[in-house]
Amino acid sequence: MLIILNNKSNLDSKEFDDYYESLKNVVSKHPLILCPSSIYLTRVNGDNLLLGSQNVSSFDNGSYTGEVSARQLKSLGVEYAIVGHSERRNYQNEDNITIHQKIKELLNQNITPILCVGETKEEKENYQTIDKIYKELEESLLSLPNKDNVVIAYEPIWAIGTGNTLTREEIEDILLKIKEKYPNNKLVYGGSVNEKNIEELKDSKIIDGFLLGGLSLKIDKLKLFLEKIEEV
């Protein structure tokens, strides 16, 4: 199972050092992918962690002020990168065309993209969930020869950071529909996953991992979460 820790834009410099000191000692049989703020990527060298980025430029190296390219990430040992997170779609106006470019850059550098898709509350209420997800996937993965290497992360927007989650059956229902069109991709779930609701989710045969936001920052609770999936 892939466990992806998305720190988002949290932790100042000293806080990150303290956090990382504790996280370095966390053991799990599952791969732990730490996605810190990009300014901390060079501080991660723990044997127990894989390195992930929260974002990537849609361009290769060049005159793109403020951007970090896939090539640069690769040179730091980055193996995974989140793309299409709803927070970037929402606050940075990222669209599927840009996301497609980013995925291309990552695949060119052999970095595994973690592509986030998911519906708003309104789309859910209007029964548009799967149409929205199929559109996001089709436009982002369009004619990529190695698209099977992309990890697909189902993150309902209304479940992120709210404490609201789906039941295991509801998650599996969506993931199975994704699987119909993308049978070879790893499928992970994110959205208010915690050390309690993992009890219900952990035995799923469809979910290949979890994308954790808030929980990634709380080491004690993260340890409890990892203990619960240790036998899976």
Q: How far is the CB of 149 from ligand 13P (least distance, A)?
A: 20
Residue 94, Cβ neighbours under 10 Å: how many?
A: 19
Q: Does 161 bind ligand 13P (CB under 6 A)?
A: yes
Distance of CA 80 to the CA centre of its chain: 9
Q: Which stretch binds ligand 13P (CB under 6 A): 17-25, 41-49, 57-65, 188-196?
A: 188-196
Q: Show Cβ contacts of residue 165 under 8 Å, excluding neighbours closer than 6 positions.
A: 159, 191, 192, 193, 197
Q: Show Cβ contacts of residue 179 under 8 Å, excluding neighbours closer than 6 positions.
A: 187, 206
Among 55, 57, 112, 192, binds ligand 13P (CB under 6 A): 192
Nearest-angstrom CA–CA distance, 165 and 185: 23
To the query of whether residue 85 is one of the catalytic residues in this protein, the response is yes
Q: Which is nearer to ligand 13P, 180 or 220 (CB)?
A: 220
Among 190, 198, 222, 226, binds ligand 13P (CB under 6 A): 190
Task: Using alpha carbons, list the distances in angstroms from residue 42 to 8, 37, 107, 145, 174.
Answer: 16, 10, 21, 31, 36
Instruction: Assign 189 to helix, strand or coil.
Output: strand
Residues near ligand 13P (CB under 6 A), total: 14
Among 3, 56, 193, 229, binds ligand 13P (CB under 6 A): 193
To the query of whether residue 155 is one of the catalytic residues in this protein, the response is yes
Query: So which residues are the catalytic ones?
Result: 85, 155
List interacting residues with ligand 13P (CB under 6 A).
6, 85, 155, 160-161, 190-193, 211-215
